Structure 1
């Protein structure tokens, strides 16, 4: 996340080429999300994750050698980032589908919350300063370290028990993907997942709310750096600290997710989450005080993780094991596609009508989403 852009900046001064590195890693989500879901339902998920992580380790090893010997080019960096993104689509989809094979249904919220906390600590707090520090030691070091980390990750996943056979796990866990399922074309497999999602009103509503909500969020936050500088008046360091509020909220959300869901019920918490999103955009559109913005962003971070834990757990309980990869891949596609569309729209809106316009429109959009989703979300309190 940090060493990649730094490496590109050391190879080229073209801002378009540097920004293209981020796009190269995100593009596979738009191209392969649905395909990755189909493969996650066709293949042994554990072995798929191991193979994808070893592939990512190999790509990073090539880049490490290239950087170390001084022949890394923009094209090579793009290719490696594209491979990393492609592996990510496979690993994230298969991992989400594999969890119900390892964890009993009643423990899924706690497991998802712990995974969210791990992600927050590792990716939001540790990864960025560590990547920058390692790059300062030597440009090749962070990529070599990441190659090693993917290799260790593959070994850890390989050490897991075979799905559905661990005596330590409740017999209520989902069984492994059956090899007896007749094979069809990838198009038919993908279509089956889409039909299942479309036919379940609760899951369809949650997926639509997430996709449309991501458009609203990314439209508002596409120019957040300019908003922080010109409206809140913060320095570059202050901007960095402001971004950490999301991670702080995420950690709080991971700690509270299971408890608030047990206390108030999934439906009430999901509805409250949508209210928090509306409130966040309204507050950011109206305030000029950095502490107010920081406080509401902490609250938004809490909501994001709690919403994610609840929706992931519901999906893992309600979707048949043989369809988990495909249904999860649709969520991933909506999330990524919404982010891409929202980022583009937000920049255009801010340029045409000012920095607060995207926040006002995001608040209006989230209000409409809240109204449309209010009644379907009630099903979350009645489903297993």
Structure 2
């Protein structure tokens, strides 16, 4: 039996940074729409914040992926977190001095979104350089558990509570957390540039972008999964952009307080944590295609639930089911993409995939605001559920036979190279093992990285 892979010290600093950064994300993305309610009750105006946060994926995702494959990846993470900390700190100062406005929230959301594009693209590409191939399953599982717990479990209720204390407090907390993330990243030593062949010619940014796009589009499995997650995120973005108006305030349909709203969102993470812990056994029993089907159905039920009930317990239960399905989706699809993509293309393929997957989110936010403004908020949930559920028609395109054939072709092409050496040669920590004893993440063969489906 092979001994569990050892995780280098550099990984635990990366893990700490990721936990702090994702907690900041969770707090800010819950706090922004709640703070906006102090300025407006327009569905379109509130939905505009989701649009502003996600619009950068349409504009800068492709060049970001190409640049990440050229730059030092640790330095890119540092700059991205510094940028977000500075932007939100300035927004906090503006709020404290009485200058807060929707315009200020929009501007901050766009700038934070741009930095997030670079950070998230880099995060999926740097890990193999930090831990090496043999340790990827253990590292991915632990990293995913930290991100899930902080971003979706702890962040939303904390954001709701902090808004109750004061808008400036809720906006200032993420700035401090991103500063902590930077301090942890600075402890990771070494160079983290993408590997390139010694005799590889210099290429233009445009050619690099094209290479990543062609690789993705010529792989039917990856292309279909990107389209499916893009449609799912469009529906989820439409619902999440206006859900705060449906849920928060004495005059809303659900009548929740800010803190209760944060707790309601937390149930999505509860399901996701559970899904990530049992993803291996579920996938082994059902197969990967059926597992993806569970995710599609769960997402549709969650999105449609507010249209038929305003009971927080029932809506929370639907969120839990959706979170469970989202975790299953990410466990299957992110691992698959990592196995099918060569190291030197990871940044570009990740950004191209994310462009298709997340580039629909601005459109979804805009549609959610438009539908809510024109026909009423209930119809946003109806349309979202129908659109997400309709993806079952694409499941045959990612059948188990197609997945196995894609993996076999990647092996024949030599995609998965022998780059098994971690970059950090300092003391290591075994951490929990991946042989079923007390693992925090999914099993070794199905661990995943940062999420593709965005709740």
After TM superposition, give the deviation of residue 376 of structure 1 in Å.
Answer: 2.3
Per chain length, whose mean CA-contact separation is higher, i.e. which structure has more relative contact order (CA < 8 Å, sep 6+)?
Answer: 2
Aligned twin of 2:278: 256
Aligned twin of 1:334: 356
After TM superposition, give the deviation of residue 44 of structure 1 in Å.
Answer: 0.5
After TM superposition, give the deviation of residue 9 of structure 1 in Å.
Answer: 4.0
| Counterparts in 2 of 1:32 and 1:304: CA distance versus 1, 3 Å | same
Unaligned runs of at least 5 residues, structure 2: 1-28, 412-455
Aligned twin of 1:3: 31
Please tell me whether residue 377 in structure 1 is matched to residue 377 in structure 2.
no
After TM superposition, give the deviation of residue 54 of structure 1 in Å.
Answer: 1.2
After TM superposition, give the deviation of residue 187 of structure 1 in Å.
Answer: 1.6
* 1:351-384 CA distance string (max 9 Å, x none): 4995775366336622211133225234367566
Aligned twin of 1:196: 215
Aligned twin of 2:231: 212
> Separation in 2 of the partners of 1:129 and 1:283?
19
> Separation in 2 of the partners of 1:227 and 1:76?
24
| Counterparts in 2 of 1:160 and 1:68: CA distance versus 1, 3 Å | same
| Counterparts in 2 of 1:311 and 1:55: CA distance versus 1, 3 Å | same
After TM superposition, give the deviation of residue 270 of structure 1 in Å.
Answer: 3.9
| Counterparts in 2 of 1:106 and 1:288: CA distance versus 1, 3 Å | farther
> Separation in 1 of the partners of 2:88 and 2:239?
34
- Given candidates 20, 40, 48, the residue that maps to 1:13 is 40
> Separation in 1 of the partners of 2:145 and 2:281?
15
Aligned twin of 2:80: 52
Aligned twin of 1:365: 390
The more displaced of 326-335 and 366-375 is 366-375
The secondary structure found in structure 1 opposite 2:93 is helix
* 1:169-216 CA distance string (max 9 Å, x none): xxxxxx843495433322211111001112223322322332234345
Q: 1:146-157 residue pairs with structure 2 within 5 A?
A: 146-157=174-185
Aligned twin of 1:269: 288
> Separation in 1 of the partners of 2:217 and 2:229?
15
Aligned twin of 2:429: none
* 1:282-306 CA distance string (max 9 Å, x none): 7986996767765554333222112
- Given candidates 141, 156, 160, the residue that maps to 2:188 is 160
Please tell me whether residue 98 in structure 1 is matched to residue 126 in structure 2.
yes
Aligned twin of 2:151: 123
The structure where helix makes up a greater share of residues is: 1
Aligned twin of 1:324: 346
Aligned twin of 1:172: none
Aligned twin of 2:10: none
Residues 220, 358 of structure 1: 8 Å contact kept: no
> Separation in 1 of the partners of 2:182 and 2:67?
18
Aligned twin of 2:321: 299
| Counterparts in 2 of 1:379 and 1:215: CA distance versus 1, 3 Å | farther
> Separation in 1 of the partners of 2:380 and 2:157?
29
| Counterparts in 2 of 1:143 and 1:239: CA distance versus 1, 3 Å | closer
The secondary structure found in structure 1 opposite 2:67 is helix
After TM superposition, give the deviation of residue 73 of structure 1 in Å.
Answer: 4.3
Residues 113, 309 of structure 1: 8 Å contact kept: no
The secondary structure found in structure 1 opposite 2:335 is helix
How big is the alpha-carbon RMSD for the aligned residues of Structure 1 and Structure 2? Answer: 3.7
> Separation in 1 of the partners of 2:328 and 2:102?
39
The secondary structure found in structure 1 opposite 2:167 is coil
